[in-house]
Amino acid sequence: MTHTAPKPRSFQAIILALQNYWAGQGCAVLQPYDMEVGAGTFHPATTLRALGGQPWAAAYVQPSRRPTDGRYGENPNRLQHYYQYQVLIKPSPPNLQELYLGSLAAIGIDMEMHDIRFVEDDWESPTLGAWGLGWEVWCDGMEVSQFTYFQQVGGHDCHPVSGELTYGLERLAMYVLGVDHVMDMPFNDPDAPIALTYGDVFKQTEEEYARWNFDVADTEVLLRQFEEAEAHCREILDHPATDPKTGKRIVMAHPAYDQCIKASHMFNLLDARGVISVTERQAYIGRVRALAKRCADAFVETRAGGWSEEAA
């Protein structure tokens, strides 16, 4: 069994341990995507790279936003802005479960003392037109990760299949560090000259965003931006593959996908403002899914998505 690392003492030590571990397993350690997303899966390094036949191995932290989960920083574990750690390996290696357990050992979870379980949990993202089978991973009854074998993304069958791991970093860290309220969690080394807690970093922003998300965000502006992003996404993809300036074949899958991400986030904000009814909800989700699907269609027409001159 894998050697258990000494217990980390801060939030960032856990993140660093995961980065080192997955770097050691040969993953490209990427940086967060520079847009507002609801989950690490939205990063194009997952959504788009899960498509096509090219091998891929990436790990990264992704700041994620779920406006409806804001609690003004008062709830012990609900936040409108939080971090996910995301690993995507394609094709999924046969020992992915062992690799995953190794990552838990790397952040100080001793397999000899804890009860780790793989409990059925099928993953589906209606907005991305994606689904997969896998588990939620329990450590002593607490969900610490999602483990998914992607079967479809953007309506395309995944072949080969990617294995995706998602860690909810705050919850996992609170567990490892034995902290009851997220705001009390040491962010950096608690013995550092300037020791900071999670609350020192995020309590104020949680309050500010909760107020803005729930009561202040201008719904007319959000709605307009949703529609602009939607139109822009389609417009980008309507361009012919060949760039008239350079004469090169440049399918703009990523810029279009940025607009899809933007539309999705606008929808989340509108939802938090309570202006979307139950029936409208489905329609909005369908609109974002249609964009995601078109972006996926475009991505498989790019080199990274498996397109080649010879095959074409």
Partner 1 sequence: MPDLLIELFSEEIPARMQRRAAEDLQNLVTNGLVEAGLTYVSAAAFSTPRRLSLALEGMLAESPRQVEERKGPRADAPEKAIEGFLRGAGLTRDQLEERETPKGKVLFARIEKPGRPAAEIVAEVLEETVRNFPWPKSMRWGSGSLRWVRPLQSIIALISTEEGASVVPLEIDGIKAGDSTRGHRFMTPEEITVTGFDDYETKLKRAHVMLRAEEREETIWHDATNQAFANGLEVVEDRGLLAEVAGLVEWPVVLMGPIAEDFLGLPPEVLQTSMKEHQKFFSVRNPKTGRIERFVTVANRETRDEGATILAGNEKVLSARLADAKFFWENDLRAATSDAGMATWVKALEKVTFHNKLGTQAELIERMAVLSREIAPMVGADPDLAEQAARIAKADLSSEMVYEFPELQGLMGRYYAKAAGLPAEVAAAAEEHYAPLGPSDEVPTAPVSVAVALAEKIDKLTGFWAIDEKPTGSKDPFALRRAALGVIRILVENDIGLPLYRFVDAQLVRNKGQVNTDLQSALIEELIREIARHGVFGAAWRTIKERADHLLHPEAEEKLGKQVPDKSSNLLAFLHDRLKVYLRDQGIRHDIIDACIAMDGNDDLTLLVKRARALSETLSTDDGENLIQGFKRANNILSQAEEADGVEYSYGADVKFAETEEERTLFKALDAAEAVIAPAMERQDFTTAMSAMADLRGPIDAFFEAVKINADNATVRRNRLNLLSRIRAICSSVADLTRIEG
Chain positions contacting partner 1, by CB under 8 A: 1, 76-77, 91-94, 97, 111-120, 122, 132-135, 139-142, 149, 151, 159-161, 163, 175, 180, 277-279
With respect to partner 1, which residue has the nearer C-beta, 62 or 166? 166
| Closest distance of CB 70 from partner 1, Å | 16
Cβ proximity of 184 and 192 under 8 Å: no
With respect to partner 1, which residue has the nearer C-beta, 142 or 192? 142
Distance of alpha carbon 110 from alpha carbon 11, whole angstroms: 18
With respect to partner 1, which residue has the nearer C-beta, 1 or 283? 1
The counts of H helices and E strands in the chain are: 8, 9
With respect to partner 1, which residue has the nearer C-beta, 8 or 134? 134
| Closest distance of CB 152 from partner 1, Å | 10
Strands 116-120 and 123-125: unpaired
Q: How many residues does the chain have?
A: 312
For residue 45, which of 155, 202, 153 has the smallest C-alpha distance? 153
Distance of alpha carbon 128 from alpha carbon 295, whole angstroms: 10
With respect to partner 1, which residue has the nearer C-beta, 122 or 218? 122
Distance of alpha carbon 104 from alpha carbon 110, whole angstroms: 8
| Closest distance of CB 12 from partner 1, Å | 23
| Closest distance of CB 57 from partner 1, Å | 13
Q: Provide the residue type at 263 as one letter.
A: A
| Closest distance of CB 174 from partner 1, Å | 10
Which residue is listed with tokens 């139109």? 231
